């Protein structure tokens, strides 16, 4: 073996060499890009759009976080809508990429290298049960035949909340504007919010405080109200929607306001649930307490996604709240203004509930036309009480009891609310369980009467108040906490900040 001979390179040597070569090429490429006044991202965009993007105008659009998913849907639809359309997504690598606009990322003079990496995705709810994977930071390279765009999707922190931002570059500014307009149209048309039941809470929550609720399923017989009362509500809320075209043709307004009032525990929220279960396909917004601050958003979306129902729960609670807006107006004033501002021909129902109609009376009479009909949801009459005993005692054999059997229990609950009667039945069931630990639970008229009398004697006034009774004309107003407890079933009740969010995507067009 001569001394000039070298040992053959091992696999490891070759691997090390390959890595070094790749790094060398990469460094050379970055250097070349920098010398040309560009970076890896800008070069990729230039290759796609056909011009150096540094010289192109950026058209941008801010959208509320809850519409990030609608943007994703719109992009997918946009591609499907044209045979020559395609889209490719690239991510951006680099230290503070998130705090930069598209224009800044495409330019030079960064302290970090703007490279290409994997896009950032996030799973966002698009129904009560499902989520959709959305781009939350990435550049879409979009093409329709020869027309080309690059669009950055990013999330921006704006004080207490976030917003999504879309930024588009293409050869012509008008082309970017057209693309955004088309995406807006598709986002509204295919919005995942359409036909859903949505709770709007305080706003610091994820996705702007929007939450999908499962649509309630409540059969008509599960809501015990006098027939005349229930059909009056149905006429205004459900039937108008069914006769929409004919009413419009006859120049009748579609927008309507219905107020349900009555003592706590009589079934106002229960009625809302029944109506929601009837109105499948109708987009519903449920606002309560401080969530009522989102009235402006709810109204814009209700208009975009009509037919819609906007439920404003326990509106008396905001009658004195002056924290809204700079004018020192009450939140209630703002709510009534928004209802008024929506226009007459939109198929939107406003459904307001309150335990304290006295508080609302002045505000409503000062601004007539916001509420077309006020329906009292009163404590049940004799027939109602019998129905309630049978409804809540279905599993206890109460349905088989005669009116006479139930008469004493009915007398003992006169003037009490439906909630109260439901609790009487529960206590009767408990008593029966304690009496006999083995057999299937059965309650008699007597057990019910006894439960009603004991509950009445319950020393805790709070218990009775929470159950919505007794209703005495001179009594103190029902404790303020009671409606709040009830509102919690819609979740997200609590103090919030005034939001200065962008208007919904599509609302400005």
Contacts to ligand ADP by CB under 6 A:
223-225, 264-270, 418-419, 422, 468, 486
Q: For Mg ion, which is the closer residue by CB, 263 or 445?
A: 263
DSSP state of 439: S
Q: What is the C-alpha separation between 386 and 199, in angstroms, rounded?
A: 34
**Which residue has the CB atom at the shortest distance from Mg ion?**
269
Q: Please select the residue that binds Mg ion; options are 180, 225, 388, 486, rule is CB under 5 A.
A: 486
Q: For ligand ADP, which is the closer residue by CB, 16 or 488?
A: 488
Cβ of residue 230: shortest distance to Mg ion, in angstroms? 17
DSSP state of 169: E
Residue 225 touches which member of Mg ion, ligand ADP, none, C-beta under 5-8 Å by kind: ligand ADP
Distances from the Cα of 69 to the Cαs of 159, 196, 271, 312, in angstroms?
22, 14, 31, 26
Q: For ligand ADP, which is the closer residue by CB, 223 or 312?
A: 223
Q: What is the C-alpha separation between 186 and 72, in angstroms, rounded?
A: 10
Cβ of residue 377: shortest distance to ligand ADP, in angstroms? 6
The reply to whether 287 sits near Mg ion by the rule CB under 5 A is no
- The span of 67-75, 139-147, 269-277, 439-447 binding Mg ion (CB under 5 A) equals 269-277
Q: Which residues of 331-346 are buried (b: 16+ CB within 10 A; e: fewer)?
A: bbbbbbbbbeebeeeb
Cβ of residue 355: shortest distance to ligand ADP, in angstroms? 6
Q: For ligand ADP, which is the closer residue by CB, 187 or 224?
A: 224
Cβ of residue 284: shortest distance to Mg ion, in angstroms? 16
Using CB atoms within 10 Å of the CB of residue 279, give its burial: 0 to 12 exposed, 13 to 18 middle, 19+ buried.
Answer: buried
The reply to whether 388 sits near Mg ion by the rule CB under 5 A is no
Angle between helices 68-80 and 173-189 (to 10 degrees): 100
The reply to whether 288 sits near Mg ion by the rule CB under 5 A is no
Cβ of residue 276: shortest distance to Mg ion, in angstroms? 13
Q: For ligand ADP, which is the closer residue by CB, 225 or 298?
A: 225
Token duo for residue 142 = 């979009």
Q: What is the C-alpha separation between 231 and 209, in angstroms, rounded?
A: 34
DSSP characters for 52-86? -GGGSPPEEEEEEGGGHHHHHHHHHHHHHT-TTEE
Q: Please select the residue that binds Mg ion; options are 269, 283, 288, 465, rule is CB under 5 A.
A: 269
Token duo for residue 110 = 């960064």
Residue 205 touches which member of ligand ADP, Mg ion, none, C-beta under 5-8 Å by kind: none
The reply to whether 311 sits near Mg ion by the rule CB under 5 A is no
Residue listed under structure tokens 């519409």:
67
**Which residue has the CB atom at the shortest distance from ligand ADP?**
267
Q: What is the C-alpha separation between 64 and 85, in angstroms, rounded?
A: 27
Angle between helices 295-304 and 331-341 (to 10 degrees): 20
Cβ of residue 462: shortest distance to Mg ion, in angstroms? 18
Q: For Mg ion, which is the closer residue by CB, 93 or 422?
A: 422
- The span of 105-113, 248-256, 463-471, 479-487 binding Mg ion (CB under 5 A) equals 479-487
Residues that bind Mg ion (CB under 5 A): 268-269, 486
């Amino acid at each position: 073996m001569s001394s000039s001979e070298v040992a053959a390179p091992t696999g490891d040597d070759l691997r090390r060499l390959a890595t070094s070569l790749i790094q060398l090429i990469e460094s050379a490429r970055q250097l070349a890009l920098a010398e040309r006044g560009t970076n890896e991202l800008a070069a990729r965009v230039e290759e796609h759009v056909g011009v150096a993007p540094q010289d192109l105008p950026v058209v941008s659009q801010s959208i509320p976080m809850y519409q990030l998913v609608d943007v994703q849907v719109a992009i997918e639809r946009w591609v499907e809508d044209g045979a020559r359309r395609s889209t490719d997504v690239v991510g951006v690598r680099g230290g503070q990429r998130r705090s930069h606009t598209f224009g800044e990322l495409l330019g030079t003079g960064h302290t970090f290298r703007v490279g290409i990496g994997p896009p950032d995705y996030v799973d966002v709810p698009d129904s009560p049960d499902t989520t959709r994977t959305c781009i939350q930071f990435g550049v879409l390279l979009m093409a329709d035949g020869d027309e080309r765009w690059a669009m950055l999707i990013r999330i921006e922190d704006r004080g207490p909340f976030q917003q999504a931002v879309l930024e588009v570059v293409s050869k012509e500014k008008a082309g970017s504007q057209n693309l955004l307009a088309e995406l807006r149209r598709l986002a509204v048309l295919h919005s995942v919010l359409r036909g859903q039941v949505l709770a709007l809470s305080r706003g610091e929550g994820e996705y702007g405080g929007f939450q999908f609720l499962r649509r309630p399923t409540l059969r008509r017989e599960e809501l015990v109200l006098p027939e005349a009362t229930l059909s009056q509500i149905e006429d205004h809320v459900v039937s108008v929607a069914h006769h929409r075209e004919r009413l419009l043709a006859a120049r009748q307004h579609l927008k309507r306001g219905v107020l349900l009032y009555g003592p706590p525990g009589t079934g106002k929220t229960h009625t809302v649930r029944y109506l929601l279960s009837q109105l499948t396909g109708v987009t519903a917004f449920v606002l309560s307490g401080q969530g009522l601050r989102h009235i402006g958003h709810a109204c814009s979306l209700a208009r975009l996604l009509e037919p819609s129902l906007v439920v404003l729960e326990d509106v008396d609670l905001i009658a004195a709240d002056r924290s809204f807006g700079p004018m020192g107006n009450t939140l209630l004033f703002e709510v009534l203004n928004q209802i008024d501002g929506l226009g007459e021909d939109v198929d939107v129902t406003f459904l307001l509930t309150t335990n304290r109609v006295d508080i609302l009376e002045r505000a409503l009479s000062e601004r007539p036309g916001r509420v077309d009909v006020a329906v009292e949801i009163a404590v049940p009459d004799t027939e109602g009480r019998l129905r309630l005993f049978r409804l809540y005692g279905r599993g206890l054999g109460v349905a088989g009891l005669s009116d006479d059997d139930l008469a004493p229990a009915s007398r003992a609950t006169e003037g009490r609310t439906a909630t109260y009667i439901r609790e009487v039945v529960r206590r009767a069931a408990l008593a029966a369980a304690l009496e006999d630990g083995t057999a299937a639970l059965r309650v008699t008229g007597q057990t019910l009467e006894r439960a009603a009398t004991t509950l009445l004697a319950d020393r805790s006034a709070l218990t009775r108040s929470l159950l919505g009774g007794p209703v005495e004309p001179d009594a103190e107003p029902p404790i303020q906490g009671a409606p709040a407890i009830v509102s919690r079933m819609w979740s997200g009740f609590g103090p919030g900040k005034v939001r200065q969010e962008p208007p919904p995507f599509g609302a400005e067009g």
